[in-house]
Structure 1
């Protein structure tokens, strides 16, 4: 055991959830270590948009955090070939490049005394004394009081505990470097239901995306659908990248192993957006660790919200939900009200 390093909290994954959790633990004076196999800065398949509730939460959690972004308020939606529904959002979406944004969060953690180690997770084992023994692919072992899984949608920790996910979404993206539009555009069509085609105007480039909420692995068919949509809107087909986002939220099973962000399936079930919930679950993990409470308790509102979102997703892509969406898109004021309400708070009531 003398060659095994001991740490209070070990975080696997240096993405937004892991970096924010690490920073919050450092603020609380908790010893922690982040392990990630990537060399930062690194890119990731993601629109990179921060809603107002997301950037407000981030500003509150990490005082003084700085990152480059482009504010976008012009929203455009279209169903098939119907008239475009256009409106100005009450608050801007902060569009970022994930390569730079994630690095800013990690750098904040490092600047505040955080430690990062390069390595790949292999497995963990519960010990008789309540510790968790983590083995890296290099053979190195680390003992910790808490293991936090922040290793994204392809989480190996999640895989070890829960096996394969049943519900996931395929996201494909293509970038138009050097072109900057001034809008977010979302197109709905029966050709890719359940799913959408979209364009985000980001920092120094436009990003075109295609989301398909299906459980199959037919990548060629998804790519063909994306290429068809790109051609429809006059966008030359270029290099396409893709990734699956897990939409199954896994239950909390052990108080000393906590899954946050995409690793725990905390992405929005309808949109796939996960930054707000990455920040929120990171904060709730920190509370569980510092206060000595169960994550199932500190994160109970997130678990409840994810269950509700499953019902919203099922209704949205149902035949009646699809018809209601098409009708609502003829009324920009209704869409604007719904959009503004949901972007700035968790419910339409609060």
Structure 2
């Protein structure tokens, strides 16, 4: 397996105009790249449009659970590069307790996680897609859909290149992988749902001796002691060693928290890091780059995931796990699911049978994640209650068995069959929960 970065593909199938394809994918993040990779592998002519150029920065915690690692392995990404920093599990800090939980030993998933910055993570994925045969156009900013007036279906997009020139790209299917704001989805009338959780995360990097930590670190309580008095801040935090001399330090807040819309998130991060041990180096003079923030669209907060020739994948479809804020694994999984559905649909002989196959995509997503995400929505409501969190932290963290169960639940790491009692409970709850 290799992740050698070939030159972006510009080749076009014989007789196919450069601005036409079987499938257009808007956005070359993890969801778009994964879908492009599997479509190209199946022989589909896929055009991948990215508004920026690689390498590029994206706001992220940079931590990957074994669920995401599994997707990287499936795409043939080599993990031998030293820039992939392996971790053994999750360290949880809160209520005066410091607990290290190794990733569960499962046949379905590898027993390690990874850290890698998004500065080149997405580029690795896009090169895999290009090597498989996808056509990539960078600095191509999609501005609006092209709608067929007779069928009211999307049949392509209009995009502006770096020189400001507008081009029409045409395809019978379009995948929106353009992130949380998903202007393409909005232009097609697919809007966000108010009954789904939403989070905001901010992060920055610090030069730190903790850069080679072999555990992802999660803080359930954020304290500010800079004023001589301990003040509990809203939200949860993380510290992920990047291995290059820096740590990714950030925090997130959910919209179930009372102060969600009243907080200066960047100032909150500064207050928290100022109260950390001085020897960790999380100080203003060690800060590398600004504090950046991003929204976390959770629990299918934009639906339908397929309609009128448009499929939503990744953050565009609100696929972030409500339990832990993880988005990359679910974006990649959805990209693979979408690609499989599209390949099957393109093999059908009539428009009617193709459409019936495409309509399976939201059904598969609901079957795969719906019940689990419903549980996650209840979880978000509970942890937004400060009194509940105080009680749970005080009495739950000192219980190792309970916390191992919690790790499996939050990271969605269970065996689908032949698992232990914890797996059976989690899988059973996910199955009986309504997939609304």
TM-score by length of 2: 0.72
- Structure 2 residue 113 is matched with structure 1 residue 93: yes
Q: Within 1, Cα distance between the matches of 2:408 and 2:124?
A: 27
Aligned to 1:73: 88
Is 1:136–2:159 an aligned residue pair? yes
Taking the aligned partners of 1:78 and 1:317, their CA distance within structure 2 comes to 18
More displaced stretch, 314-323 vs 89-98:
314-323
* Change in 2 beyond 3 A, CA 1:322/1:121: farther
| Structure 1 residues 162-209: Cα deviation after superposition (integer angstroms, max 9, x where no partner) | 34564432111111246414132222237343x201101123121101
Which stretches in structure 2 are left out of the alignment for 5+ residues?
A: 1-16, 105-110, 223-231, 346-356, 417-422, 428-436
Tell me if structure 1 keeps the 8 A contact 2:146–2:156: yes
* Paired residues of 1:172 and 1:209 also in contact (CA < 8 A): yes
Change (3 A) 1:217 1:34: farther
Change (3 A) 1:148 1:304: farther
What's the offset of the Cα at 1:114?
1.6
Matched, 1:328 2:371: no
Query: Does residue 246 in structure 1 map to residue 297 in structure 2?
Result: yes
Q: Offset of 1:147 from its aligned partner?
A: 0.7
* Equivalent position to 2:29, from 15, 18, 24: 15
1:194-273 alignment to 2 at 5 Å? 195-204=235-244, 205-214=246-255, 221-234=264-277, 235-237=282-284, 238=287, 239-247=290-298, 249-252=301-304, 253-273=306-326
Cross-structure match for 1:162: 190
**Is 1:106–2:119 an aligned residue pair?**
no
Moved more, 137-146 or 248-257: 248-257
**Counterpart check, 1:173 vs 2:203:** yes
Q: Larger Rg: 1 or 2? A: 2
Q: Deviations over 1:69-91 (max 9, x none)?
A: 111125322225x1322343343
- What displacement does 1:297 show? 2.5
Match of 1:309 among 344, 367, 376: 376
Q: Does structure 1 conserve the Cα–Cα contact (< 8 Å) formed by 2:254 and 2:380?
A: no
Q: Distance in 2 between matches of 1:346 and 1:88?
A: 16
The answer (yes or no) to whether the contact 1:249–1:306 under 8 Å persists in 2 is no
In structure 1, distance between residues paired with 2:169 and 2:262: 37
> Is contact 1:51-1:344 (8 Å) kept?
no
Match of 1:126 among 147, 151, 161: 147
Which residue number in structure 1 is paired with residue 220 of structure 2?
Answer: 188
- CA deviations 1:14-62 (Å, max 9, x no partner) are 11111110000011111110001111011111112221122123322x1
Cα distance per residue 1:253-296 (max 9 Å; x no partner): 50510110111100111322111101111011112211122221
Q: For 2:383 and 2:276, how far apart are their aligned partners in 1?
A: 24
The 2-side partners of 1:147 and 1:326 are apart by 49
Change (3 A) 1:196 1:109: same
Residue 59 of structure 1 aligns with which residue? Answer: 73
Q: How does 1:267-282 map to 2 (within 5 A)?
A: 267-282=320-335
TM-score of the pair, normalised by structure 1: 0.89
Any idea what SS the aligned residue of 2:39 has? helix
Write the distance in 1 (CA, Å) between the matches of 2:375 and 2:415: 12
Per the alignment, residue 406 of structure 2 pairs with 338
The Cα of 1:154 is off from its aligned counterpart by 2.4
Distance 1:74 1:346 in 2: 17
Shift of 1:113: 1.8
Shift of 1:321: 5.3
Query: How many residues are paired up?
Result: 346
Aligned to 1:284: 337
Q: Give the Å deviation of 1:64.
A: 5.0
